[in-house]
Amino acid sequence: MAALYACTKCHQRFPFEALSQGQQLCKECRIAHPVVKCTYCRTEYQQESKTNTICKKCAQNVQLYGTPKPCQYCNIIAAFIGNKCQRCTNSEKKYGPPYSCEQCKQQCAFDRKDDRKKVDGKLLCWLCTLSYKRVLQKTKEQRKHLSSSSRASHQEKEQYSRLSGGSHYNSFSPDLALDSPGTDHFVIIAQLKEEVATLKKMLHQKDQMILEKEKKITELKADFQYQESQMRAKMNQMEKTHKEVTEQLQAKNRELLKQAAALSKSKKSGAVECCGYYSYTTNYPKI
């Protein structure tokens, strides 16, 4: 009986051939939790849910420092502190200032002073290095597939030549076909396709950021217009109330002035009567 090995995610046992090479995951776990790139730092991680688009480290940094900014060197949206991402900051401390990448032409490639760590002798940045290695891996797999299929076809042709008695098929060499210039063009095309896909993904992310900012601006404008209308309505109400109070005070003032005039008039008439009575008593003849 063949030995069974546990999946690192669901812990169910499967044959060794059914598990992935890197993380030892079964087929269902590979489908449910695919390996994707983080939206911010662009590193590959095991996706826990479809709504989760950033790795655990970036999620912690977002909670601590907020939304990151683009790095001034590599342009990756992972600068949580300052204007540089953590990868470029550590590389700059270790290897000095960055140089121009031979692939993307950005000033984000760090010279490690070791030709063995370069990719085919080229000074590449981190993203271009990953892309180049991925393309080389795909090319090797496709070459292996082409080699196996060409060998099978070569064996069929040899068998056919032996049956037909001909010998002109024996000059065919699959290694010669794989070393042809067309294979180099295939590598370049695959690399360009990978770069185009990366650029499209970056463009989509920037479009999403622009849309979010435009949405926020629209919300702020609507909030400002609402507050302005409320303020105007409040000012109009205050002006109306002030006008009514002023009119009431003016009417009351006019009424008080009338009362004061009437009181002063009555006082004057009373004084005149008193004066007439006094003059009459003083002029009366004595007996």
Residue 154 binned pLDDT confidence (cut-offs 50, 70, 90): low
Give kind and range of the element (H or E) at residue 36: strand 35-37
| Residue type for position 158 | E
User: What local confidence, expressed as pLDDT, does residue 241 receive?
Assistant: 92
Residue bearing tokens 């294979």:
183
pLDDT tens-digit series, residues 165-223: 444 334 334 443 334 344 456 667 777 887 888 888 888 888 888 988 988 898 888 88
Dmax (CA) of the chain:
189
Nearest Cα to Cα of residue 95 among 120, 72, 114: 114
For the entire predicted model, the pTM comes to 0.44
| Residue type for position 200 | K
Nearest Cα to Cα of residue 7 among 28, 20, 24: 24
- Specify whether the CB–CB gap between 205 and 39 falls below 8 A: yes
**First and final C-alpha spacing in the chain:** 165
| Residue type for position 89 | T
Q: What angle do CA 110, 116, 122 make, to 5 degrees?
A: 55
